[in-house]
Amino acid sequence: MPVYQSKARIALLGFGLLAACDPQALADKAMRRTAETVVRPVIARELPGNVAEAATQCVLDAAGNDEIRALARDVGVEAGTLTVDNIRNLATRPSATACFARNGVPPLKG
């Protein structure tokens, strides 16, 4: 098989893989990662290292898409009082407290 046919097949395969990507899923994943950078420092004020990471994931799992977008708005700045309150409220949801229990995370203070 000539080289150009091989390259064309690889290119088609690459385009096929790109077409299989869901743009909304990619945007949601990016938004979650951004929100993670806001939530983690707030949680880390009370919990150490790996425990803070697990708690962060639990809080984000308990949040809806609109809540994740709201959390992500504080990227690059210290989380304000409203954001801290929102994180604490998310941390008290049944799904978050169950996740905390599964991962050995103590409840947040306050």
**Six-digit token string for 26:** 């990619």
C-alpha distance from residue 75 to each of 39, 61, 68, 71, 89 (Å): 9, 18, 11, 8, 19
62 or 11, greater pLDDT: 62
| DSSP 8-state assignment for residue 75 | T
- Contact criterion met (CB below 8 Å) for 100 and 55: yes
Query: Could you report the per-residue pLDDT of 42-101, keeping only the tens digit for each?
Result: 999 999 989 999 999 999 999 999 999 999 988 877 778 899 999 999 999 999 999 999
Task: State if pTM tops 0.85.
Answer: no
